Structure 1
Amino acid sequence: MDFETLVEELIDREGGFVHNPNDAGGATRYGITEAVARRHGYAGAMRSLPRAEAIAIYRRLYWLRPNYEKVAARAPRIAAELFDTAVNMGVGVASGFLQRALNALNRNGRDYGDLAVDRVVGPRTLAALDAFLAVRGAGGETVLLKAIEALQGARYIDLAERRPANEAFLYGWLANRIG
C-alpha cells in the first residue's frame, strides 16, 4: 500500500474539524492537532487547515522522518500500522512497538540481536526487520503485525485506565485502529 492510499484512508477515518472537550489533543482537522500544525508552520485557524497541508504534515512527520517508507519497502502492512499508530500515539511509541516486538520475536537472539528500544527506526531496526522476515517468511509479517497491535491495544486500555476521560474514545480506538 502506498502513502497516498494510506493518508487518504486516514483522513477519511479522522474526518474534518473536531474539537472534543474530552480529547487532550485539543482541536484537530483531518486528525492533525493544533500543536502539530503550529510546529509545522501553519498559522491559520484549525477549522481552515487545508487538506493538502495536512497531507504534507503527514508525509513529512509521520512517514518520511520516521523512515516508514523504508519499512514499507520490506513489510507494507507493518508500515501502514506504524503510520496509523504514530498519528494516534506518536512516532516514538509506534517505532518502539516495532522494536519491542522484534526483540520478543528473535528467539533469544538466535535470529538477530536485540535492539535498543530507542524508538527510532534506523539501520539496526531495519536490519532486524530484514532478518526477521528472512527467517519467518511471508507469515512473519502477519505475526509481527499481531504483536504490534497487541502492544497498541494494551496501551489504549492503559490510557483509559489512567485518564477516565479517555474511556470515551476506547471503543473507537479498539474498533478502528486495531486489526
Structure 2
Amino acid sequence: MADFDHAFAALLGNEGGYSNNPADPGGETMWGVTARVARAHGYAGQMKDLPLSFGRAIAKAEYWDVIHGDDLPEEIAFQAFDAAYNGGHPVQWLQQAASVTVDGNFGPVTLAAVLAADPDKIVMRFDAYRLKYMKDLPTWPNFSRGWADRIANNLLRAAS
C-alpha cells in the first residue's frame, strides 16, 4: 500500500514553493497549500513563511486521508492525492474508473472495487476523467499546458 511521506515528496515536485499567480483562483499558495486552507488550519503568518511541516500536516489531513491513501496501491493513491491537491473530484473519478456508483463518498464499496481492478486501468481511467473535467474549467486557457504536463509526468511516474 501507499506511503504518505513518499507521495508527499513526489507531490512537492508538482507543487513547488511559493506562488501568487493572479490568474489562479486559489490565490496565494505555499507548498501547494492555499492561504484559505492554511488559515482554516490556524496558520496566521505570511504564506511565504509557511513551514513545510505545517504544509505536510495539512496535506495529510485535507487531501491524503480523504482519498484513503493508506489503503490504496501506491500509484493509484498518488494520482488521487495529486488530483485532490490540485483541485477537482478525485473520489468521484476513482468511482468512475472502478465502475461503481458515483456518489463522492469513499466507502468500502469504492475501496473494494478499486482494489479488485487492474491498477494500470484505474490510473488511466482516473486521469482521463481528470483531464475531461479540467478542460471545461474557465482557467483551462491559462493553466492547460502546466496541467497537461503534470498529468503526463504522473502517468510516466506510474509507468516506471
TM-score by length of 1: 0.79
- Measure how far apart 1:131 and its partner are: 3.3
Displacement after TM superposition at 1:168 (Å): 1.7
Q: Deviations over 1:56-84 (max 9, x none)?
A: 1111111123312112xxx2211110000
In 1, Cα distance between equivalents of 2:101 and 2:49: 41
Alignment-derived partner of residue 43 in structure 1: 44
* CA apart distance, 1:2: 2.0
Paired residue type of 2:97? A
- Of residues 81, 84, 95, the one that matches 1:83 is 81
Q: Does 1:144 align with 2:118?
A: no
1:110-138, CA deviations, whole angstroms, 9 ceiling, x for partnerless residues? xxxxx331212211111222333xxxxxx
Give deviations 1:122-162, integer Å, cap 9, x for gaps.
Answer: 11111222333xxxxxxx11111100011111112111xxx
Determine the C-alpha separation between the residues in 1 that align with 2:94 and 2:66. 16
Q: What aligned pairs does 1:88-99 form with structure 2 within 5 A after superposition?
A: 88-90=86-88, 93-99=89-95
Q: Does the 8 A contact of 1:62 with 1:86 survive in 2?
A: yes
Does 2:133 correspond to 1:155? yes
Gaps of 5+ in 1: 104-114, 133-139
Read off the aligned partner of 1:120 and give its amino acid letter: N
Give me the whole-angstrom Cα distance separating, in 2, the residues matched to 1:150 and 1:170: 14
Q: 1:120 aligns with which of 81, 87, 105?
A: 105
Q: Distance in 2 between matches of 1:22 and 1:154?
A: 21
> More relative contact order in 1 or in 2 (CA 8 Å, sep 6+)?
2
Q: Does 2:96 align with 1:100?
A: yes
Structure 2 distance, partners of 1:169, 1:141, is 28
Equivalent residues in 2 for 1:7-86, closer than 5 Å: 7-71=8-72, 75-86=73-84
2:86 is matched by which residue type in structure 1?
Answer: N
- Sequence identity, in percent? 36
Bigger mean CA deviation after superposition, 119-128 or 17-26? 119-128
